[in-house]
Chains A and B, each alone.
Chain A
């Protein structure tokens, strides 16, 4: 099968380079007609923050990896990128790579579930733009199946692999329910915002936000339905919160040991947790010594993240097994694509001869005799063609040896002049 493709991803290029070649949905819509015209008869484009993948069936033999790369570089008006930033794939390796991407084992964060939706969207867009045909429809179905099986049959998507999610996992080991709990997020930057989203998703009872720039805190609070606490009066209200997440860019501690000590005294031993996910740290780590206070900084949370990432990596062989199974099924199917027309032409050829020959005796014998001859010749042809048909099908369905199946198909076509007959030369 002539699937050809290129990939630029986190393994081959820096984020800056990847960004230059990133294609937005609108750009993909603009780029696909160009590819259709010059490069591929069908295909698909996947472009995320970590990768841009372009795969398709070449329109003619002159299409090479280089021509796909040039086409992309020209479209994006990018210069200075060399071939070493691209990975090139053909046939089996192309399908394998697409399935690896779909299964999330090729992702920057192994097992990142986001890729499943992105692959689906890419195939849908291709279909929408009439850029997807028989082979890529099948490849889409296979990719979706690989994604689903990877999640359901292996542990590739298990465990927290981001610091914010790891923080939530720790909190879940302390508190039974978030609904009756109150949380304070200090810092309204990207990390703080992500923490508020996670807490909101877990159904936190009361959410407050504090930030040096009040307007930012107000904006985030409005977005997530929380309240705002005056950053300069933080220490006065610490005891109200069961969970404190701190993610500011402050160079010094913004919460000191004595403040937390007083907070715990006021809480009369009720458990509390501080997640200090800022670098440098926002809270004096000495607070970890206080009874009933759980303190986690980014290093301790990274212990969970790294452990889970290792666990996910250990699942890669299992996912590869799934990929191999699905590849076998896919290539069995694709091999029949070439053999099926041969079998049809081959049988049609014999049927034509049969009809031609019995047509010669049509008016020389009685109807009942003609019927007998008709049935007899059908049986003869059926028996003659049984093994060649069966063996051609077997050749195409067993293994992924496309070349062998094609060779046999070509021999049959050559021996019986099937192509010339179809072209009306005989």
Chain B
């Protein structure tokens, strides 16, 4: 079982790479035959990833949400799945490469560094923790997608501004749509992070004797939550629009990724359940 899981992990990495490559190739080459085929690649990748997560849950006896690399794998899945649903609902197919690159990066980290044999805290096998972690992961997925739209916005903005009319100009949806998708993704991310934080504050103090409100992960997450909260208010009041809004989203995402990496690797936190 362990060996199968390891093989599947490498297969997942390969599939994410192929899917990302196919989406990128279609973005630049605009081949008709890839318009539907690329979606099939993504579907197969997500299906295998779902099987992998179920298998891992059965093997470990708890949800694979304990180490940061398990969370990275879940993030890769959540981003891919969210994008897949968005593509199905909106039929905007030109943005996949910009979003699936995140899935590929997260899954690369997960495949290379994930541990399959560790002792997990028994507290992790309960319902509130699962909800807390899954909402947090989905929230981070949403803000990752928002940042991808923000990046697309800035690239297209620059293209039109400089009269380049490159592939970016031809293949991306228009600026207003990208701004709207960015905003929606941020709202979804903010709501999910709010749920994760509320559950965390109500459940974690009673579950962990070492719980502290000054835990670096909690502070970092609160800052991320605040950044996006402020962004939503400013956007709703039309204080920031267009390029500034896109930059705000991108900076928020960069901060959230850096803080996640920093608090997971350098600082000590009671959130590291693998030990």
A residues bordering B, Cβ < 8 Å? 170, 172-177, 268-271, 288, 291-292, 294, 296, 300, 303-304, 307
Contact = CB atoms under 8 A, between A and B. Distances in A.
Given A269-B244, A271-B242, A292-B243, A174 B165 contact: no
B242 A269 contact: yes
Interface in B219-275: 238, 240-244
B241 A174 contact: no
Contacts of A291: 242-243
Nearest to B241: A269
A173 B242 CA distance: 14
Contacts, number: 46
A324 to B, nearest CB: 24
9 contacts: A173-B174, A176-B174, A268-B241, A269-B240, A269-B241, A288-B161, A291-B243, A292-B242, A296-B163
Given A174-B174, A175-B174, A176-B177, A270 B163 contact: no
Contacts of A304: 165
Contacts of B156: 173
A247 to B, nearest CB: 18
Contacts of B173: 176
Nearest to A268: B238
Nearest to A289: B161
A173 B160 contact: yes
Contacts of A288: 161
Contacts of B175: 173-175, 271
A232 to B, nearest CB: 31
B117 interface: no
B91 interface: no
B169 interface: yes
Nearest to B156: A173
B242 A303 contact: no
Contacts of B244: 269
Contacts of A177: 176
Interface of A is mostly: loop
B40 interface: no
Best-surrounded residue of B173, B176, B242 (most CB of chain A within 10 A):
B176
Given A300-B163, A303-B165, A172 B242 contact: no
B54 interface: no
Contacts of B172: 173
B112 interface: no
A14 B160 CA distance: 37
Nearest to A171: B174
Nearest to B245: A269
A270 B174 contact: no
Contact of B176 (A175, A294, A307): A175
A300 B156 CA distance: 16
B180 interface: yes
Contact of B241 (A170, A173, A176, A270): A270
Best-surrounded residue of B160, B172, B174, B241 (most CB of chain A within 10 A):
B160
Nearest to B244: A269
B161 A176 contact: no
A176 B180 contact: yes
Given A173-B175, A270-B242, 15 more contacts: A173-B172, A174-B174, A175-B175, A175-B176, A268-B238, A269-B241, A270-B241, A271-B175, A271-B176, A271-B241, A288-B161, A291-B243, A294-B160, A303-B165, A307-B165
Interface string B173-187: 111110010000000
Contacts of A303: 163, 165
A334 B178 CA distance: 57
A307 B170 CA distance: 12
B160 A176 contact: no
Contacts of A270: 241-242
A307 B169 CA distance: 13
A300 B172 CA distance: 19
A177 B180 CA distance: 13
A28 to B, nearest CB: 42
Nearest to A181: B176
Contacts of B241: 268-271
